[in-house]
Amino acid sequence: MQRRSLLAALMLFTALTLAPAARAGRSCEPHRATVASVERGLRLAQRTHEELEAQHARDGTRLVLLARAGRDLTRYGLHYSHMGIAWRTEDAQGRPAWRVLHKLNACGTASADLWRQGLGEFFLDDPWRYEAAWSVPTPEVQGKLLALLAHDAGVVRLHHRPYSIVSYAWGTRYQQSNQWVLESLAMALEPAAGSRERAQSWLQLRGYEPTVLQLGPLTRLGGRMSAANVAFDDHPDAKRFRDRIETVTVDSVFAWIERARLGAAPVRLQDEQ
């Protein structure tokens, strides 16, 4: 028991000292990590690793679209807040490892950057619900996304640093985390979609439908005044003034991938305690 507590404390120290001050699909409110929260995050990461390895053994899966529940979005009928691209690789000792490429917003700012992290980092920081979900793309889609990940120039090509958590799905002024994943997927599948505008046109032709959030003027005003990473000025006036905020969500991406036959229905994994 003493050894386990020491290990947990060391893991907590590592998480607190090495974790970036960046968030996506999580609250930016100050909080203090605990040994229990770090243990749960790492346990979810380990279980996710084991499930992904089992999937790989069954059918050769090498890449998934991985989501977490960092924010409570149930009031909008949504389950997950943030998505990244997870792929199978090896660690320094040659053991199988799963890494995640995702876009993170620097708290208190209106910009974001791309990060490559391990599963442990992806699930730490006290999420609202300790649950993972992933969609396994078809082998063809996996291959094209893996080819994209192999070159930094391809990874960053559609990345746009100005960030709003509710960026307009068909706009280019801002780009939120799930939007980067979706637009990069479009570019991987259609190389001619080498700009954000072309990627969005391709997605519209393929039937992608963003989530429509019903946000009234007081909610919009409060969000804009209280957080640098929330903006509504990229949404068309005709939609914004009707309280229709169209943005890219994990749930809408999962639904579209299955509907477009680009991948399977999401697998869900929850840490029960």
Q: Return the residue matching tokens 């990473």.
A: 229
Dist. CA 194–CA 39, nearest whole Å: 41
Q: Residue 201 — very low, low, confident or very high, per pLDDT cuts 50/70/90?
A: very high
Q: pLDDT for 133-147, tens place per residue?
A: 999 999 999 999 999
Beta bridge partners of 240: none
| Residue range of the domain that includes 143 | 2-270
Dist. CA 218–CA 249, nearest whole Å: 22
Q: Report the pLDDT value the prediction gives residue 244, as an integer from 0 to 100.
A: 85
Mean of per-residue pLDDT scores for the chain: 85
Residue 127 has pLDDT above 90, yes or no: no
Q: Report the pLDDT value the prediction gives residue 26, as an integer from 0 to 100.
A: 46
| Sign, CA torsion 19/23/24/27 | positive
**Number of domains forming the structure of the chain:** 1
Beta bridge partners of 83: 67
Percent pLDDT > 90 in the chain is 63
Q: pLDDT for 71-120, tens place per residue?
A: 888 888 899 999 999 999 998 888 999 999 999 987 768 899 999 999 99
According to the 3-state scheme, what is the secondary structure of the chain? CHHHHHHHHHHHHHHHHHCCCEECCCCCCCCCCCHHHHHHHHHHHHHHHHHHHHHHHHHCCCEEEEEEECCCCHHHCCCCCEEEEEEEEECCCCCEEEEEEEEEEECCCCEEEEEEEEHHHHHCCCCCEEEEEEECECHHHHHHHHHHHCCHHHHHCCCCCECCCCCCCCCCCCCCHHHHHHHHHHHHHCCCCCCHHHHHHHHHHCCCCCEEEECCHHHHHHHHHHCCCCCCCCCCHHHHCCCEEEECCHHHHHHHHHHCCCECCCEEEECCC
pTM for this entry: 0.86
Q: Which of the two residues, 151 and 25, has the higher pLDDT score?
A: 151
End-to-end CA distance of the chain: 19
Q: pLDDT for 50-76, tens place per residue?
A: 999 999 999 999 999 999 998 888 888
Residue 20 has pLDDT above 50, yes or no: no
